[in-house]
């Protein structure tokens, strides 16, 4: 008589609802097809999920923070596997690549490390990870959503009839704010890198470049809206200050303001799929994503500070450094295919830094996870503590209430009384997944899979 098959459980920790939930839902779908149960939880529930779901493996976005590294060691002692899928995997500077591959993971136990590209895998091996972790190059899971059938999940408005071409401008001046804050804020932000990576030595010049560039890019926007032939979606980096652009838009003439949509919340994948042309600032992953999606691009060229600018990536784009020349370049890019040599460079660049872009990166991850779990040793659940059980009870109770694990009913009062002291915790909760979010995204993935199989 054959033994019943062991049901494996995986917890996928989701850091940001907009950026990460689609990937986690697609991975859960592929794991489900391999008879593996997947639980999607906010990153802050990393402790509560242990006794609640008794997972065989927990997937993190990173294990760089000291508390998470310590937790990974505890999981290893129990027999729970740990895996890492980074949110960002393209680092053009070799010293930065080696630093992020080594120093940031020294104290963590990682059984399985997923990489976007071979460069990252080699850097991890140089840091000694190949001897203690399984390292797999799978590509970029979130880029699966630029490829059929999964791209259909992100196509919202782009099929709507438009009278004007829709341009998407992605800004990335995330450190400009430090020039307007007490100096210790910028010093603290760059502390992990400034004395260890040569690229970061002159980080205040990099901050100034962002500050000046943020103001200068407004001249490019003025040229576009003064022309009047385009709709423009303006997408600031999530860590940029929203008020800067809101004040700029409020000062524009009404007819120009009507041409611009300021979008903080949509996923970048949705916005790229909807646009007719994408504009990025110097070196930005959004240009590369647009090439994968088959969208024309123009790169706005500013100070070329080495922290924000890569010659390797720039060689694949159409650079515009003069606001007056932007409209003619946009017209040309919209109406003419890019030169063949540029297409060749882009294809090689994408292959180098993203591996395969075939829409199957997440599926490859699921197969590697299944193979790893098949060889897993039993977990020692006897080491669970009363604190673990208490956290599990909290997680399941908040699930029933439709709330994320780190819900704080007093947060509105704290923000009113103490202001920015609790701003980070408030932001952390607002970007978290909730049970209804997970249920809806997983429903959409399943529906799309069924439609894809029958069409």
Q: Is the pLDDT of residue 175 over 80?
A: yes
Confidence at residue 408, expressed as pLDDT on a 0 to 100 scale: 80
Residue 1's pLDDT band, with cuts at 50, 70 and 90, is very low
Q: Which residue has the higher pLDDT, 50 or 405?
A: 50
Lowest-confidence segment of 87-91, 176-180, 251-255 by average pLDDT = 87-91
Structure tokens at 55: 């997972």
- Quick check: 281 and 170 in contact, CB under 8 A? yes
Confidence at residue 44, expressed as pLDDT on a 0 to 100 scale: 94
Confidence at residue 390, expressed as pLDDT on a 0 to 100 scale: 97
pLDDT tens for 404-453 read 988 887 777 766 767 666 666 777 778 899 999 999 999 999 998 887 77
Q: What is the mean pLDDT of residues 23-44?
A: 96
Q: Please classify residue 236 by burial: count the beta carbons closer than 10 Å to its beta carbon, then call 0-12 exposed, 13-18 middle and 19+ buried.
A: buried
Q: Is the pLDDT of residue 454 over 90?
A: no
Q: Is the pLDDT of residue 391 over 90?
A: yes
**360 phi and psi angles, rounded to 5 deg:** -125, 15
Domains of the chain and any CATH numbers: 8-140+357-419+433-454 (3.40.50.2300), 154-354 (3.40.50.2000)
Q: What is the mean pLDDT of residues 230-245?
A: 93
SS3 label, residue 286: helix
Q: What is the mean pLDDT of residues 279-294?
A: 95
**445 phi and psi angles, rounded to 5 deg:** -65, -45
Structure tokens at 300: 């706005």
Structure tokens at 133: 């972790």
pLDDT tens for 55-74 read 999 999 988 888 999 999 99
- Rounded CA-CA distance 28/102 in Å is 29
Residue 157's pLDDT band, with cuts at 50, 70 and 90, is low
DSSP string, 342-402: HHHHHHHHHHHHH---SS-HHHHHHHHHHHHHHTPPPP-GGG--HHHHHHHHHHHHHHHTT
Q: Is the pLDDT of residue 308 over 50?
A: yes
Q: Is the pLDDT of residue 52 over 60?
A: yes
Q: Is the pLDDT of residue 5 over 80?
A: no
Q: Is the pLDDT of residue 91 over 80?
A: yes
Q: What is the mean pLDDT of residues 329-355?
A: 96
Confidence at residue 2, expressed as pLDDT on a 0 to 100 scale: 45
Report which secondary-structure segment, H or E, holds 168: strand 166-170
- In 3D space, the residue among 171, 143, 168, 140 whose CA is nearest the CA of residue 282 turns out to be 171
């Amino acid at each position: 008589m054959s033994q019943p098959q062991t049901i494996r459980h995986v917890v996928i920790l989701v850091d940001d609802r907009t950026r990460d939930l689609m990937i986690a839902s697609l991975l859960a779908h592929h794991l489900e097809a391999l008879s593996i149960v997947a639980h999607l939880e906010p990153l802050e529930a990393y402790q509560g999920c242990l006794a609640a779901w008794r997972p065989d493996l927990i997937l993190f976005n990173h294990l760089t923070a000291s508390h998470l590294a310590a937790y990974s060691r505890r999981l290893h002692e129990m027999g729970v596997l740990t895996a890492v899928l980074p949110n960002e995997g393209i680092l053009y500077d070799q010293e930065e690549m080696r630093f992020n591959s080594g120093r940031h993971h020294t104290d963590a136990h990682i059984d399985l490390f997923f990489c976007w590209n071979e460069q990252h895998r080699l850097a991890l091996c140089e840091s000694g990870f190949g001897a203690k972790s399984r390292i797999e190059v799978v590509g970029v899971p979130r880029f699966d959503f630029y490829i059929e059938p999964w791209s259909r999940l992100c196509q919202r408005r782009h099929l709507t009839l438009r009278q004007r071409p829709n341009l998407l401008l992605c800004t990335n001046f995330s450190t400009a704010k430090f020039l307007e804050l007490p100096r210790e804020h910028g010093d603290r932000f760059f502390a992990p890198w400034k004395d260890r990576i040569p690229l970061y030595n002159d980080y205040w010049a990099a901050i100034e470049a962002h500050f000046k560039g943020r103001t200068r890019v407004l001249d490019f926007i003025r040229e576009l809206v003064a022309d009047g032939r385009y709709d423009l979606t303006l997408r600031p980096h999530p860590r940029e200050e929203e008020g800067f652009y809101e004040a700029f838009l409020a000062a524009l003439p009404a007819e120009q303001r009507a041409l611009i949509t300021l979008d903080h919340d949509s996923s970048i994948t949705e916005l790229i799929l909807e646009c007719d042309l994408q504009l990025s600032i110097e070196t930005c992953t959004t240009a590369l994503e647009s090439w994968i999606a088959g969208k024309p691009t123009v790169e706005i060229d500013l100070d070329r500070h080495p922290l924000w600018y890569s010659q390797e990536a720039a060689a694949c784009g159409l650079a515009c450094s003069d606001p007056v020349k932007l409209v003619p370049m946009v017209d040309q890019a919209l109406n003419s295919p890019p030169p063949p040599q540029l297409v060749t460079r882009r294809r090689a660049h994408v292959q180098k830094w993203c591996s395969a872009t075939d829409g199957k990166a997440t599926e490859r991850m699921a197969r590697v996870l299944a193979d790893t779990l098949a060889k897993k040793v039993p977990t020692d659940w006897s080491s669970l503590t009363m604190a673990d059980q208490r956290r599990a009870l909290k997680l399941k109770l908040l699930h029933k209430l439709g709330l994320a694990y780190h819900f704080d009913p007093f947060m509105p009062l704290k923000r009113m009384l103490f202001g920015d002291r609790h701003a980070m915790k408030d932001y952390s909760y607002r970007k978290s997944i909730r049970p209804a979010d997970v249920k809806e995204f997983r429903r959409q993935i399943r529906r799309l899979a069924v439609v894809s199989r029958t069409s």
